[in-house]
Amino acid sequence: MPLNSPAVSIIIPILNESAIIVSKLQSLQYLRPQCELILVDGGSRDDSVDLARSWVDKLVESPSGRARQMNAGAAAASAGLLFFLHLDTEVPANLKELLLVNRDCCDFWGRFDVSIEGAHWMLPVIALFMNARSRATGIATGDQGMFISRSLFDKVRGFPEQPLMEDIEISRRLLQEKKPHCLKQKVKTSGRRWEEKGAYKTIWLMWSLRWAYWCGEAPEKLAKRYGYQVEKQSK
């Protein structure tokens, strides 16, 4: 790998995020050029792509679907370490140092603890249980900011291109190779999903879907159920 290659490739899948995309990408500029910013658009119909173009190192177009978009971003990445980030998640100021310190020279992966920003009193409790569950099981979620060495990502063949639970499935595959680094430092993610749809309803929906997935229900069926419930809650 060339000496001037970035240390980390930050891969951000988006779809119709024009309202927040500039401010969120501006907040990551201090990481460049040591980290390259790769935005993967899944077919936005607003002006997200035009707004983002000058704030990223690479802009990739992909079929919609978070797994497909993240795999497309990984294929375009230059660094030996891949960091998959949701646009509405804020990273620690010393992100690069946290990702690179005391890591194996080849295969490793992990995630951060998470805090959830918002007004609802349940959000810190949700984050507490998310972090505890992840630490106990070794299963990471996209909200926690997953980092995976390129060699290990290739070994498990990337994210499974399924419509839901792709983060859980890749965690299962990664666990067969290595235990994760569960970093205590926190990324901050938006609580808008819980606040807009209702905290209790969203908790119940996500846990019921996860339980069904663990019991073997197909991701395609779960995605239909998820879409139906979200639409129902919106009415």
Question: Across the chain, which distance is largest between two alpha carbons, in Å?
Answer: 54
Host H or E run for residue 210? helix 199-214
Is residue 127 situated within a structural domain?
no
Inside any domain, residue 26? yes
Q: What is the mean pLDDT of the chain?
A: 90
Question: Alpha-carbon distance 142 to 176, whole Å?
Answer: 19
Does residue 131 belong to any structural domain of this protein?
no
The verdict on residue 12 lying in a domain is: yes
Q: What is the pLDDT of residues 106-120, one digit of tens each?
A: 799 999 999 999 988
Question: Minimal CA–CA distance to 99: which of 85, 114, 112?
Answer: 112
Residue 214 lies in a domain: no
> What's the confidence (pLDDT) of residue 230?
44
**CA atoms within a 13 Å half-sphere pointing along the CA-CB vector of 36:** 20
Per-residue pLDDT tens over the stretch 140-192 = 999 999 999 999 999 999 999 998 999 999 999 999 999 999 999 999 998 88
One-letter identity of residue 73: G
Residue 200 domain-assigned (yes or no): no
Mean pLDDT of 117-126: 91
pLDDT of 94 reads 93
Q: Which residues contact 116 (CB under 8 A, 6 or more apart)?
A: 123, 124, 126, 127, 143, 188, 189, 190, 191, 194
As a whole-number percent, the residues of the chain with pLDDT over 70 amount to 93
Contact 42, 64 (CB under 8 A): yes
Where is mean pLDDT largest: 30-34, 98-102, 119-123, 207-211?
30-34
Residue 203 phi, psi (nearest 5): -60, -50
CATH number, domain of 35, equals 3.90.550.10
pLDDT surpassing 90 at residue 102: no
Instruction: Classify residue 130: in a domain, yes or no.
Output: no
Percent of the chain with pLDDT over 90: 71
Q: Does 42 reside within a domain?
A: yes
69-91 residue pLDDT tens: 999 999 999 999 999 999 999 99
Identify each DSSP E strand in 66-220 by its residue range: 81-84, 89-90, 109-117, 146-149, 181-190
Count of domains forming the chain: 1
- Which residue range is the domain that position 159 belongs to? 8-120+138-190
